């Protein structure tokens, strides 16, 4: 019998790399977000076999995994600071739209809260595709366009 590795990475919901952009950093900070704030991180397993087993587990087991701070999606990028290409490309487009909307600061804050909640649900594995499986959080440029774009629009 093979050995299963339970390695995980801590994924930022709003990626660290977003704070490298002055416009995004200002938008997020003005709304009360910080890259190291509580609720902006989730533990995601790296091993696809572990993630598949969790996704196929009973609802009770999934709930206990989520309560323990682990998501039901796979962390597929190893680089720090924003390796989840598809998710981060999507977030940059959404942040640009929110920033350029002309809305009040309060409306922008609520839009950011909604976006953060949706992205948290994505990492937790709660946003499902048409196949009934969690939409993956992609970690490279080849697969980037399969994440997020159609799911949130």
Domain assignment present for 3: no
CA atoms of 43 and 49, how far apart (whole Å): 16
Among residues 100, 99, 116, which one has the least CA distance to residue 25? 99
* Percentage with pLDDT > 70 across the chain: 80
Q: How confident is the model over 89-144, as pLDDT tens digits?
A: 889 999 999 999 999 999 999 999 999 999 999 888 888 888 887 877 655 444 44
| Number of folded domains that form the chain | 1
| Res 5: pLDDT | 64
Among residues 149, 103, 102, which one has the least CA distance to residue 122? 149
Q: List the domain range (segments joined by +) for residue 29.
A: 8-152
Domain assignment present for 130: yes
Among residues 94, 67, 83, which one has the least CA distance to residue 10? 83
Domain assignment present for 1: no
């Amino acid at each position: 019998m093979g050995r299963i590795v339970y390695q995980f990475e801590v994924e930022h919901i709003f990626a660290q790399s977003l704070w490298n952009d002055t416009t995004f950093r200002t938008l997020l900070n003005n709304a009360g977000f910080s890259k190291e704030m509580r609720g902006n991180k989730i533990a995601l397993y790296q091993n696809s076999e572990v993630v598949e087993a969790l996704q196929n587990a009973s609802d009770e087991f999934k709930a206990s995994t989520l309560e323990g701070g682990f998501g039901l999606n796979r962390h597929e990028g190893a680089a720090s600071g924003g390796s989840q290409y598809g998710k981060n490309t999507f977030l940059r487009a959404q942040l640009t739209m929110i920033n350029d909307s002309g809305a009040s600061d309060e409306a922008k804050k609520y839009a950011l809260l909604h976006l953060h909640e949706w992205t948290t649900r994505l990492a937790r594995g709660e946003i499902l595709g048409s196949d009934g499986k969690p939409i993956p959080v992609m970690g490279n440029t080849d697969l980037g366009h399969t994440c997020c774009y159609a799911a949130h629009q």
